[in-house]
Amino acid sequence: MTTYLEAPEAFAPSAGRVAVVTGGSRGIGRAVCLKLARDGLAVVVNYVGDTAAAEETVKTITAASGRAISVRADVADEHAVAALFDRAEDEFGGVDIVVNAAGRLALSPIADLDLAVLDAMHRTNIRGTFVVAQQAARRLRAGGSFVGFSTSVVGTQLPAYGAYAASKGAVEAITLILARELRGRDITVNTVAPGPTGTDLFLEGKTPEQIDALAKAPALERLGTPEDIAEVVAFLTGPEGHWVNGQILRANGGLV
């Protein structure tokens, strides 16, 4: 598969813009980091547990003459997230883009779900989004963007996804509200809702038959890739997408 960072010349000249990407060490978050770095942004790669993966993402960017650092922070911890933004400002001078790709997934029928699992997932997906959005609202510079993450399952409403879809429905609910609260500051707020995407988080625990069925569900008859979603994020956070505001973008290949 072609990656974003095959050669140093892939980087655009830096315009001095800075992105904070939560969950940036793996999957969609990593693809977003690589794409934004290729577009010339300095990138703060946030992670919570996998230090090696975060450092590998940073190494991939810096080896191609990009600028990146990794910063550990639990997105649901307001003090850690404030420190994450402090580090971004200290290292690169400010923050222009915030992409909250950190998330947690647990599948279970509603009747059987362990409530401790529910609480942990909602802590990351709801509280974490809110905490990161708070800091973004306070710190983003004019012309900036916040991108949250939902899921197309909010619309498809598949069995076993009840708790996960509920947590992502909360993300969708605050999107236009935050966009309106930031009126007058030239900051956009949008949420991307991927369909089935070939990440480790998505593939874990599924049989080949289940994966094949999910791949055939979209009209384009394939799984999305992290790079597909990164391109959508780059559009929303770039000048070409700045008129899009307060929207939920279902990037799912035609899934119904």
| Percent of the chain topping pLDDT 70 | 94
What integer pLDDT is reported at residue 117 of this predicted model? Answer: 98
pTM (two decimals): 0.92
Residue 57: half-sphere exposure toward Cβ, Cα within 13 Å: 31
How deeply is 42 buried, as exposed, middle or buried, from its count of CB atoms within 10 A (0-12, 13-18, 19+)?
A: buried
Of the candidates 4, 47, 161, 164, the residue annotated as catalytic is: 164
* 3 confidence band (pLDDT: 50, 70, 90): low
pLDDT digits (tens, 9 = 90+) for 72-108: 999 999 999 999 999 999 999 999 999 999 999 999 9
Q: Which residue has the higher pLDDT, 10 or 15?
A: 15
Distance CA(237)–CA(96), nearest Å, equals: 9
* 9 confidence band (pLDDT: 50, 70, 90): very low
Nearest to 250 by CA among 185, 170, 153: 153
Average pLDDT of the chain? 93
* 15 confidence band (pLDDT: 50, 70, 90): low
pLDDT digits (tens, 9 = 90+) for 115-133: 999 999 999 999 999 999 9
As a whole number, mean pLDDT of residues 215-219 equals 94
Active site residue 47: no
Q: Which domains does the chain have, with CATH numbers?
A: 10-249 (3.40.50.720)
Residue 117 has a CB neighbour count (10 Å cut-off) of 14
